[in-house]
Amino acid sequence: MILPLAVVPEFVDAFRYVFVGGESVTGGLQVGGPALIPYLVNHLVLSFVSVAVAVLIAVPLGLYLGHTRRAEFLAVNITNAGRAIPPLALIGFFIAYIGVGFDAFGLVLVLLAIPPILTSTYVATTQIEPDTVDAARGMGLTEGQILRRVEFPLGLPTTFSGIRIATVAVVATATIAPFASVDTLGVPILSPNVHGPAGQLGAAVLVAILTLVISAGLGAVQQAITPRGLKTVAPERRRGLFATLRRRTQTT
C-alpha cells in the first residue's frame, strides 16, 4: 500500500532515513535507522502506561455510573468536553503549571484517553437488557456481583471499542511529547533542523503505520474477548449484507 510511494524521491529519502539512517543535518550525529528504536520504545511505553492508567480510572467509574444510572449527563457529555479541549492547549497548560517530563505528559494523555473509555463503558453498561439485570438481582446476586459477573462481561466489547479509540488517539498524540521533553517518535517531526525533511516524513509515516497496526491489533483483541455467547447469534437475526460479512469474519 505504501510501497508505490517509494518511487517518489522524497519518500525514497524518508524510507532510507527510517530503515538505514544517516548523519544529522547539523552533522556529527547518527540519526534515523537504529537510532529510532529508543524513540519507538519510549513512544509505546508512554502510550501504554497512559492508556492503562486511563482504563483503571475510567472503566470502574463508567461501570459504577452505568450500574447506578448516575451522572448520565456527565458520562455522556464528557467526551464532547474532552474533544473540545485540544491536547496542544493542555500541554501548554501543563508545561506552565506542572512541568515537563514523562509524568506530566503522561497525565495529558490520560486526560485525553479517559472520555472515550468512560463514555463507552457507561453506554455498554446501560445498554444491557434490563431483564437480564433484573433476573440477576432476583436470583440473589449482590450489586457487586451483578457488576462483575453480568454487566462487565456483557459490556466488554463496547467498552473495549472505547479503549481502542482512546489508544489510537494517545499513540497519535504522543507524537507531540517532545514539547514536554519526552523523546518519542515525534522528535524527528518536531526537529527538522536536525533530522531533515526525510526524518520528518519518515517518522510521520512510521507513526501512521504504528497507529494502524495497533488499531488492527486491538480490533482482533476485541473479537477475542467478546464472550462466545454474544457472537453466536440465532440465524434468523442475521440479515443483510453487513450481517453476512460479519458472519464470515466471525466464523469460529
Residue 156's nearest CA partner among 227, 250, 55 is: 227
Q: For residue 53, how many C-alpha atoms fall within 13 Å in the half-sphere facing its CB?
A: 15
Q: How far is the CB of 243 from other proteins (least distance, A)?
A: 14
By CB under 8 A, tell whether 145 contacts other proteins.
yes
By CB under 8 A, tell whether 233 contacts other proteins.
yes
Give the contacts of 66 (CB within 8 A, at least 6 positions apart). Answer: 75, 121, 122, 123, 124, 125, 126, 151, 155
Residue 108's nearest CA partner among 216, 164, 181, 204 is: 181
By CB under 8 A, tell whether 137 contacts other proteins.
yes
List binders of other proteins among 40-99 (CB under 8 A). Answer: none
Measured N-to-C along each axis, helices 72-84 and 102-126 cross at an angle, to the nearest 10 degrees, of: 140
As given in the structure block, the three cell numbers for residue 15 are: 524510507
Number of residues counted as binding other proteins (CB under 8 A): 25
Quick one: which segment of 49-57, 70-78, 146-154, 195-203 binds other proteins (CB under 8 A)? 146-154
Between 215 and 226, whose beta carbon lies closer to other proteins? 226
By CB under 8 A, tell whether 252 contacts other proteins.
no
By CB under 8 A, tell whether 10 contacts other proteins.
no
Between 97 and 242, whose beta carbon lies closer to other proteins? 242
For residue 70, how far is the Cα from the chain centroid? 26
By CB under 8 A, tell whether 221 contacts other proteins.
no
Contacting residues toward other proteins, per CB under 8 A? 129, 131-142, 145, 150, 153-154, 227-230, 232-234, 237
